[in-house]
Amino acid sequence: MNKFRLTRWLISLPPILFLLIFFAAPSLIMVITSFRFPGEYGGLAPLVAPETDTMAGDSSLYGLTLEAYRFFFSDILYAEIFLKSFAVAATSTLICLIMAYPVAMLIAQSAKKYRNLMILLVVLPFASNFLIRIYAWMIILGPESAFSHFINNMLQFFGFEPVMMLFSSFAVLVGTVYVHLPFMILPLYTNLEKHDPVLLDAAQDLGANRWQRFWRVTWPQSLPGVFSGSALVFIPVLGMFAIPDILGGTGDILIGNLIKDQFLGTRDWPFGSALSIMLMLVVLCVTGLFTLLARPRAPK
């Protein structure tokens, strides 16, 4: 028994150490960074004023401060970007859910021998590079593409103004939905595949029509799959920066872009860290909510 326990510890030790060194420690560094002052030329100001440094300016730039957080709450702009990111993430999740559910159902109801092939097709896009796929969308949505011409010709035919699809919120949504759709299909399929088909027979036998069978039997049983799929789409979309960078317009900045800018552009590390921590808190809240919702519902 003791030997068994030792083996278990030995096996779990490397991943635990890995997470401690490369996740827990950096997170702690980030928390501390968010309470420090930025350095004059990027990076961080020292924690303690160097005594010998006569060139030092304002002494209040040393030590710990809430400045980054004060800055975040002082301007409504940042709350707006958070809200907008939330809206984009929520919309993408909803679209993914609506598109993924029928696909997952189709796969789950197919003959067993075809299911693995269909799953392979769902994950096939991952075989090519993420950025390449996003740039491909840039071409598809670009003004000179056949797709754009077709859409705009149709719009003009019905008397509407032609539109520019690229560099818009629409393009960002297309990109996020496209990239994250498999993350919704897979958990949904895993859930739906486990449903006992005799329950649908029973529901039908007891008087439920097609619609009622879906809403009363299939849907409630699939909620754990819906919530884990939603978490897998919502959380990455909330923090994403590449897709809005490439497909979005100037007004389509999300939290991810804002954070990236603090580190690579404005070089304000404390503010970037503070934004990251705010994002992390939001994600934790959302995850907690999903976990709560994913539990089987208690009786009334």
70/216 with CB nearer other proteins: 216
Q: Are 286 and 235 in contact (CB under 8 A)?
A: yes
Residues 204-243, interacting with other proteins (CB under 8 A): 204-209, 212, 216-217, 220-221
Q: Can residue 246 be called a binding residue for other proteins (CB under 8 A)?
A: no
Joined together, the tokens standing for residue 282 give 């939001």
One of 3, 5, 113, 297 touching other proteins (CB under 8 A): 297
14/207 with CB nearer other proteins: 207
Q: Give CB contacts under 8 A, 24+ apart, made by 69-78.
A: 69/34, 69/274, 71/271, 71/274, 72/271, 72/274, 72/275, 72/278, 78/258, 78/275
The window from 71-79, 97-105, 132-140, 199-207 that contacts other proteins (CB under 8 A) reads 199-207
| CA 189/CA 187 separation, integer angstroms | 5
3/300 with CB nearer other proteins: 300
32/208 with CB nearer other proteins: 208
- Find the shortest distance in angstroms from Cβ 191 to other proteins: 12
108/277 with CB nearer other proteins: 108
CA distances from 90 to 231, 234, 237, 275 (A): 10, 6, 9, 20
The window from 137-145, 164-172, 192-200, 236-244 that contacts other proteins (CB under 8 A) reads 192-200
Q: Taking the alpha carbons of 186, 187, 192, 193 in that order, is the dihedral positive or negative?
A: positive
Q: Are 272 and 284 in contact (CB under 8 A)?
A: no
One of 202, 264, 284, 289 touching other proteins (CB under 8 A): 202
One of 43, 196, 215, 285 touching other proteins (CB under 8 A): 196
**Could you tell me how many residues of this chain bind other proteins (CB under 8 A)?**
20
75/196 with CB nearer other proteins: 196
Residues paired with residue 44 on neighbouring β-strands, in sequence order: 38
Task: Tell me which residues touch other proteins (CB under 8 A).
Answer: 196, 198-199, 201-209, 212, 216-217, 220-221, 296-297, 299
